Amino acid sequence: MPQPRSRNHATQACTNCQNKRQKCKRPSDRDACEYCKNNKFRCVIIWGRKRGRKPPPNKTTEAVNEFQFSSSNFETLLLDDQSIV
């Protein structure tokens, strides 16, 4: 059974490597990458950026928004009818 290969680049690049558009080669998540070590930069990683396609909008929120709009229109119609009588 073949052994899994270890990664020689990070899953998320540090800000310096992102700006230079190069591979971020870190031995672990806690260590500085080779580029930052060689240039004596601070290796900063911004976690939490979502990648890929955005999910479709939630249909329940669309339905609630539509209901609130239609109910406000209904209230204005009722108020207009009361003023006529």
pLDDT of residue 15: 92
Lowest-confidence pick of 28-32, 43-47, 61-65, 79-83: 79-83
1-56: pLDDT as tens digits: 666 655 555 678 899 999 999 999 988 778 899 999 999 999 998 877 666 777 77
pLDDT of residue 52: 75
- Is residue 78 within 8 A of residue 48, CB to CB? The reply is no
| CA separation for the pair 22, 66 (Å, rounded) | 47
Higher pLDDT, 62 or 39: 39
Q: What values do phi and psi take at 79, rounded to 5?
A: -65, -40
pTM, two decimals, is 0.47
